[in-house]
Amino acid sequence: MADKESLQFHMNLGMLINSAHRAMTKRFVQNAHESGLDISLDQWMVLGPIWQRGDASQKELGDMCLKDKTSVTRIIDTLEKKNLVVRVPDQLDHRVNRVILTNAGKQLFYDVLPVMEKTREEVKKNIPDEDIEIFKNVLSSIIINLENEKG
Amino acid sequence: MADKESLQFHMNLGMLINSAHRAMTKRFVQNAHESGLDISLDQWMVLGPIWQRGDASQKELGDMCLKDKTSVTRIIDTLEKKNLVVRVPDQLDHRVNRVILTNAGKQLFYDVLPVMEKTREEVKKNIPDEDIEIFKNVLSSIIINLENEKG
DNA sequence: CTATAATAGTTGTAGGTTCAACTAATGGCA
DNA sequence: TGCCATTAGTTGAACCTACAACTATTATAG
């Protein structure tokens, strides 16, 4: 129903990003669900860095995912409710929570890896690698352009 | 703080789109706010097609913005609460609402146009036009790749 | 050492998204 | 004509996001 020309004609950059972002998020969750896994893309985004580092403070997670501290709080709330992570108070700095994966969290992480890979392939289907490179480059530039100097 | 290489190294496609999308949305709202205007990017996305066509059903708005009918319902709720649009029952098909702009809605639309333009320029700063073209092309392809064949 | 600023995290409010279940109206087919 | 499927829109629940105001802890400047 939607061909490439009409999409580009009717939609500006913001709307295109908005739609592509929602489509990817939705497809990831659908693919996870088909594999019997219950996880959102944002939960996955947070899980990754914790796995990579063994643990991470909420501040560090926010920095790595470019997420607001409020969002991190609530995502960790959800992950904790699902018994995928635990908040452990930092012994040195009592303001800080170290967030670590439970065994269930580690298991889920491994289970989701192929789902992520499948989604990635569906997203990139029929798009030349060099265009993907430029695409990622432009995204990075946009993020940097808008990073909060604000003035 | 975030340079292009480290962004691309640490973040995958989904996270980059996610972050860029949020950054754009945020900047648009900030710019509108600085001009004394109170509007979200999603509200703007819906206002545009109504203005273009004079009126539109919620179904048509969803199609044009690639938004779920639930989202459209709630955005129209908000716009109606702010007296920017009105739902008018369609005389021929009683299932349908025709959504039209109030005078305040038209005024806001015109006021926001330069804000949109400013945001667009901030987003595209230092990015070559030909890269932007490829970028939009890739976004369209992704949307089409993920359009709900699902099977 | 103490007052003050900065930092980590939480909470409330409001808006946007998805899914699923629902109402109301229309369309089509026997 | 009457049953049934489809379509337009709404509602509730759960999650994510941003902003602002708040608590608690740590760092710093005088």
B126-140 tens-digit pLDDT? 999 999 999 999 999
Q: B12 lies in a domain?
A: yes
- B123 contacts chain A (CB < 8 A): yes
CA(B55)–C1'(C6) in Å? 51
Q: Among candidates B94, B91, B112, which has minimal Cα distance to B43? A: B112
The answer to whether position A136 is within a domain reads yes
Structure confidence at residue B13 (pLDDT): 87
B5-55 residue pLDDT tens: 655 555 688 889 999 999 999 999 999 999 999 999 999 999 999 999 999
Residue B151 lies in a domain: no
Give pLDDT tens digits for B75-115.
Answer: 999 999 999 999 999 999 999 999 999 999 999 999 999 99
* Å separating the CA of residue A79 from the C1' of nucleotide D30: 45
In a domain, residue A151? The reply is no
Q: Is the CB of A57 under 7 A from strand D?
A: no
Domain with B22 in it: what CATH number?
1.10.10.10
Nucleotides on strand D lying under 7 Å from protein C-beta: 7-13, 15-20, 24-27
What's the total number of domains in chain A?
1
Rounded-to-integer distance, Cα B45 and Cα B25, Å: 11
B140 to chain A: which residues are within 8 Å by CB?
4, 7-8, 16
- Supply φ then ψ for residue B63, to 5 degrees: -60, -45
* Cβ of B74 near strand D (distance < 7 A): yes
Tell me the per-residue pLDDT of A25-65, one tens digit each, with 9 for 90 and over: 999 999 999 999 999 999 999 999 999 999 999 999 999 99
pLDDT in tens, A70-116: 999 999 999 999 999 999 999 999 999 999 999 999 999 999 999 99
Nearest to B24 among A7, A122, A142 (CB): A142
Q: How far is CA B65 from CA A76, B49, B130, in A?
A: 31, 8, 25
B150 inside domain? no
The range of the structural domain enclosing residue B75 comes to 4-145
Q: Per the domain annotation, does A123 fall within a domain?
A: yes
A5 confidence band (pLDDT: 50, 70, 90): low
Q: How much is the pLDDT for A102?
A: 97
The reply to whether A8 falls in a domain is yes
CA neighbours closer than 13 Å in the CB half-sphere of residue A73: 4
